[in-house]
Amino acid sequence: MILRIARGLARRTRAWLGEGVSLARAGARYPGWRGRLRRGRYHVGIQTVVINTYQGGMVWGDECMARGLAEGFRRLGHTAEVVSAQTHPLERGGYDVMIAMYPTGDIPGLPYRVVLPRACLNLYWAQVPGHFRLAERDPRFAGFLFASRGEMAASAAGKKFWLPMSADPEAYRPQAVPKRRDVVFCANNIAGRGPETLARYLDPLLDIPGLDLAIHGSGWEGTRYAAHARGSIPPPEVPALYGSAKIVLSVHGDGHFAADMPTSRIFEAAACECAILSDLLPTGREIFGDAICWTKGGADAREKAVALLGDEARRVEMGRRARETLIASYTFDAHARRIAGFVERLRSGRDAAEAPGA
């Protein structure tokens, strides 16, 4: 009798978890999951491929996003940590939810691997242009979060919703520091932001007589912009850097631009109440409206920069409205609430779609 009961329980467990998952893993998949759902508390892993980039060299933007999202979950009472398959024993982590920021399998240009624990609900956050096509082939992903609405529309995944990038308004705050710089551009010089793109947005600004431009990030040595390069800067120092600038310039990588995917730079500068001059992305303009000065580059960028530099009142008003927009709908705390609701809808079989601000 006991043996028959045990076998019946094993069959029901495999039907719920999927074939190939042992009864012993049933408790590991969602440890106390019913109680956790009633209490609304999860143990969340946010997986990127490289962590601790803050220690020097090139800072990875996805680590900034992962850390911010983990803080958002913690402030809501969940437990959360940023993890990597290279440094963490993910199968023994006891996670309820794993959010992968890269797809499984071979990632073009990256010698790293993503591991999906078999004993938790796995989600994929498509925040690198083009990678979602690799991720959606993996049946272990229960749902997908898209930083680009266009990529979300192109995906055949059934359970998905839009989750743009963000910033933590507690970490990125207005700074009472002197405006020592005219324009600050904080970005790594990567292959994804080609020379034609840089020329379209940087060169017109350098034509402005006496303009003080500071570029912070890796890879600018030996380029035509090397005279303006100031080296890498740790993320905790970015708010003071932004606060010291009259204008923060944002130029998206070519892939992000093509995908209409506003990157974290815009949200971080908005959180700092900066006047932002950015290349024109329709989704970015939809979010922030004219709280950001949008440009197509060239002479238009130069003219708009000159106008902003000469209008302090407008810069202050733009910064105030940009931060208000971020706080209203696009913080990591709000993202964490949406993801928790997404998980519940996935578990209950209800429609998983939801947009920020809903």
DSSP 171-212: TS--------EEEEEE----TTS-HHHHHHHTHHHHTSTT--
Residues 278 and 151 in one domain: no
Identify the segments of the chain with pLDDT beneath 50: 1-38, 357-358
SS3 label, residue 142: strand
Tokens of 113: 């691997």
Give the separation between CA 31 and CA 79, rounded to whole angstroms: 13
In a domain, 11, yes or no: no
Do 319 and 336 sit in the same domain of this protein?
no
Residue 85 resides in a domain: yes
- In this structure, are 154 and 84 located in the same domain? yes
Position 4 scores a pLDDT of 45
How far is the C-alpha of 64 from the C-alpha of 269, rounded, in Å?
Answer: 14
Q: How many domains does the chain have?
A: 2
pLDDT at 141: 92
108 is a domain residue? yes
270 and 153 within one domain: no
The answer as to whether 353 is a domain residue is no
d(C-alpha 100, C-alpha 48), whole Å: 6
The values of phi and psi at residue 328, to 5°, are: -65, -35
Residues 252 and 338 in one domain: no
Whether residue 16 lies inside any domain: the answer is no
Indicate whether 354 belongs to any domain: no
**What is the DSSP pairing of strand 181-186 with strand 213-216?**
parallel
The answer to whether 43 and 76 are in contact (CB under 8 A) is no
Question: Which pLDDT score is estimated for 134?
Answer: 86
Same domain, 215 and 337: no
Which pLDDT does position 110 carry in this prediction? Answer: 73
**Same-domain check for residues 222 and 148:** no
Short-list 81, 89, 11, CA closest to 42: 81
| 321 and 194 together in one domain | yes
Does 207 share its domain with 289?
A: yes
Tokens of 275: 């006047």
Longest dimension (CA), the chain: 89
CATH number at residue 261: 3.40.50.2000
Considering the domain architecture, whether residues 185 and 290 belong to the same structural domain is answered as yes
Q: Which residues contact 108 (CB under 8 A, 6 or more apart)?
A: none
DSSP character string of 218-251: SS-TTSTTGGGB-----GGGHHHHHHTEEEEEE-
Query: How distant, in Å, are the alpha carbons of 2, 7, 19, 238, 258 from that of 12?
Result: 15, 9, 11, 52, 46
Q: What is the DSSP letter of 155?
A: -
Strand order in the sheet with 245-250: 213-216, 181-186, 245-250, 276-279, 293-295
Q: What is the pLDDT of residue 177?
A: 93
**CB contact at 8 A, 75 and 87:** no
Q: First vs last Cα of the chain: how many Å apart?
A: 52
User: Is there a domain that residue 19 lies in?
Assistant: no
284 in any annotated domain = yes
215: containing domain: 181-329
Q: What share of the chain is helix, strand, coil (3-state, %, to 5)?
A: 45, 15, 40
Residue 239 and residue 186 in one domain? yes
Tokens of 37: 């759902």
Sole residue written with tokens 């601000």: 357
CA distance 103 to 218: 25
Instruction: Report residue 108 CA to chain centroid gap.
Output: 19
Q: Where residue 156 sits, what CATH number does that domain have?
A: 3.40.50
335 and 323 within one domain: no
Residue closest to 33 by CA, chosen among 112, 117, 96 = 96
- In the prediction, which pLDDT does 57 show? 67
